[in-house]
Copies of this chain bind each other. A is one copy, B any other.
Amino acid sequence: MVWAMSQRSAGIIEEIEAEILNGKLQPGERLPSEEKLCERFNASRTVIREAIQQLRGRGLLRTTKGSGSYIADPSLDSLTTAMEAYASLVVEAGFMELIDFRILIETECARLAAVHAGESVLKELRQIVATMEKVQGVRAKFSKADIAFHLAIARGSGNRIYAGVLGAVERRCIDYAQTNRGDDDWYSGVIDSHRDILDAISAGLPDRAADAMRRHLLSSKRHFVDLGV
């Protein structure tokens, strides 16, 4: 049965998407030119282009001017942007759910990083902690370093999905935290927590790393609760 489609592009999107998801079109492969697609779907170039734009928005295609549209490599970018969008929109309704989600994943990341993190990640983490001490009190820079710290650990976990998913929610959680507090000893408290985590990871102690991360994030969650979010 064919459903009346309010938009010609909707059906085209479905069809191309299906071919990508079931592997008929492989990553890196080129999509037929817009003109060819016009013939195939018997539609104007306008419609074809709108379908391509939406698929680009979903992260399934990348387009090069003068060359063509190509099936995107498996990238976490689209997942990250979608997660970011959801995290933003849901901020009032389910912020606590987002925080719990973050705690679960980051605790696991810390545990894994204690086992898998290489010297380059450890070095990066040490540098970030040093930076945080320097910029103590400067909210924007401190926040940036804070995010970098957590993302570096996620990368150190060796699981790209954790890193991608976290990249999406991290910024929002931390920004939100810092716009709502600026006490002096709060900065040093965060730095101490980070140092604990770093020590456990670099000592290769998974459980201690997980525990330190969990305590750090739970204290941050408590602040939200206190603020009545």
A residues contacting B by CB (< 8 A) are 6-7, 20-23, 27, 49-50, 53-60, 65, 72-76, 78-79, 81-86, 88-91, 93-94, 97-98, 100-101, 104-105, 108, 159-162, 164-165
Cα distance A76–B94 in the bound complex, in angstroms: 12
Residues in B with CB closer than 8 Å to A56 are 54, 57
The 8 Å CB contact of A85, one of B21, B91, B160, is B21
Interface pair B84/A82, CB less than 8 Å apart: no
Nearest residue, chain B, Cβ from A52: B53
Nearest residue, chain B, Cβ from A65: B6
Residues in B with CB closer than 8 Å to A54 are 53-54, 56-57
The 8 Å CB contact of A88, one of B21, B50, B57, is B21
Contacts A59-B82, A161-B94 given; does A73 touch B89 at CB 8 Å: yes
Residues in B with CB closer than 8 Å to A86 are 59, 74-76, 78-79, 161, 164
Residues in B with CB closer than 8 Å to A85 are 20-21, 58-60, 78-79
Nearest residue, chain B, Cβ from A76: B86
A and B contact pairs by CB, cutoff 8 A, 15 listed: A20-B85, A50-B53, A53-B53, A54-B54, A57-B57, A58-B58, A74-B86, A79-B83, A90-B161, A97-B161, A97-B162, A101-B161, A101-B162, A104-B104, A104-B108
Q: 4 nearest interchain CB pairs?
A: A57-B57, A74-B89, A82-B82, A53-B53
Instruction: Output the least CB separation between A74 and chain B (Å).
Output: 3
Nearest residue, chain B, Cβ from A21: B88
Cα distance A163–B72 in the bound complex, in angstroms: 26
Residues in B with CB closer than 8 Å to A161 are 86, 90, 94, 97-98, 100-101
In the complex, which of the residues A20, A49, A54, A161 has the most CB atoms of chain B within 10 Å of its own CB atom?
A161
